[in-house]
Amino acid sequence: MPSSESGAPEVERPDEGAKGFAGAAGHVTVGAAVTELTRRMAQPAVEFTASGTAALEAALEVLGIGRGDEVVVPDVGCHSVAAAVVRRGAIPVFTGVGEALTLDPRGVSLACGPRTRAVVAVHQYGLPCDVPGIMKTVGPDIPVIEDVAQTWGSAVGGAPAGSLGTIAVISFGSTKPVALGAGGALFGPASLIRGAVSRGDGADRQLLRPPSAARFPAPLLARLPEALARADRLLASRRAAVEAFLRGPLAQELRLPPTPSGSSSGWTRTPLYPIAPATSVTAEQVERLEACHGPVQRMHATPPSALPMFRGSTTRVTGGGRRLTEPLLVKMGSPR
């Protein structure tokens, strides 16, 4: 199998027959797991990186995005997305999201201007982002980077999340669906991403903490077969838990977020909103949710654009979707 510039295997033609990871991880080689990973992303090549943030920075770099350029990002969720843009010298344009908790074409349209050079479409909490609608809105000259760090198994219009944008990035952190404990990856055409990751020197490939900030800790790759199998098992468990919720009494009081037509969610967190005329979730409902479906948390009230870390940076904040209430986030189907 050929090697990528990061020293990890590269696959340019994913094996469409590689299946069955949920039950056979112990019999799967690392090379086959890498093949399966690219097949699931429906992308031709992969470069492994030190983290998901490093993968996003590499994506911005290969797309030629730098000082003074604007990049549209969702004003919800992890601050690392905007931080990667700032480290490239570019300007994050924080864009509001509605109850779907992902960027939508209208919000992106409001955010775009003459200096817009890219959009980062995050599949937040495993929820499918309308990447085709965004790409249609921005046109062929503005690349869309899909961030699939928080999803596994989501689909948009029948296509796998990660397969629709110009480039896709993932994190393998310990809390992510595909968890190796650290690392990330960049997916896309080999002609675009090959060489995107600094190699450091030739002697660092077996070190757990390679000297190059961008390099993937190569020994972690041995964990990939079991990580994919575990991600599949958890995906099946989460989907079964959401179906159980929809059949239960709480579904008469709380509702799921909207998703694009023909799409499916990986449900790494399950956001729930009160059903009108209720405007908030009660303590009693939270208690019942936790008893029946798993740990409950409230979404962080402070959007990334308001964090102190961005006060010294050039940013823009634009409109977009609005939410009348903030959702509860339920960890359905995960081990307790």
Please compute the mean of the pLDDT values over residues 53-64 and round it to a whole number.
Answer: 92
User: Is pLDDT above 50 for 239?
Assistant: yes
The residues spanned by each domain of the chain are 21-230+300-329
Q: Determine the pLDDT at residue 31.
A: 94
Q: Report angle CA 261, 265, 267 to the nearest 5 degrees.
A: 150
Helices in the chain by DSSP H: which ranges? 21-24, 30-41, 52-62, 80-87, 105-111, 131-138, 190-193, 224-247, 283-293
**Tokens (6 digits) for 23:** 């039950």
What's the rounded mean pLDDT across residues 165-170?
97
Tell me the CA distances in angstroms from 184 to 105, 147, 172, one per residue in order: 27, 11, 5
Tokens 């990035």, residue located: 169
Which of 93-102, 161-170, 201-210 bottoms out in mean pLDDT, i.e. has the lowest?
A: 201-210
Other Cβ atoms less than 10 A from the Cβ of 81: the count is: 24
* Tokens 């790409």, located at residue: 135
pLDDT of the residue at 236: 96
pLDDT of residue 25 exceeding 80, the answer is: no
- Residue 121 to residue 189: CA distance in whole angstroms: 18
Q: CA 194 to CA 197: how far, in whole Å? A: 8
- At 130-141, the pLDDT tens digits run 999 999 999 999
Flag whether pLDDT at 3 surpasses 70.
Answer: no
What is the DSSP pairing of strand 254-255 with strand 270-274? antiparallel
Digit-coded pLDDT (tens) for 212-237: 446 788 889 999 999 999 999 999 99
Question: Which of 120, 164, 116 shows the shortest CA–CA distance to 263?
Answer: 164
Cα separation of 165 and 188, whole Å?
A: 9
Nearest residue to 37 via CA among 59, 9, 56, 58 = 9
CA 214 vs CA 107, 219, 325, 334: distances in Å: 32, 15, 39, 31
Reported as a pLDDT band with limits 50, 70 and 90, residue 324 is confident
Retrieve residue 228's tokens: 């994919």
Could you report the per-residue pLDDT of 287-300, keeping only the tens digit for each?
A: 999 999 999 999 88
Burial 216-250 (b: 16+ CB within 10 A, else e): bbbebbebbbbbbbbbbbbbeebbebbeebeeeeb
Banded model confidence at residue 9, pLDDT cuts 50, 70, 90: very low
Q: What are phi and psi of 298, to 5 degrees?
A: -95, 145
State the pLDDT at residue 216: 84
Average pLDDT, the chain: 88
Average pLDDT over residues 18-30: 64
- 166 pLDDT exceeds 70? yes
Sign of CA dihedral 68, 71, 75, 81: negative
DSSP reduced 3-state for 182: coil
* pLDDT score for 214: 65
Asked if residues 65 and 167 have their Cβ atoms less than 8 Å apart, the reply is no
Class of domain 21-230+300-329: alpha beta
N residues, the chain: 336
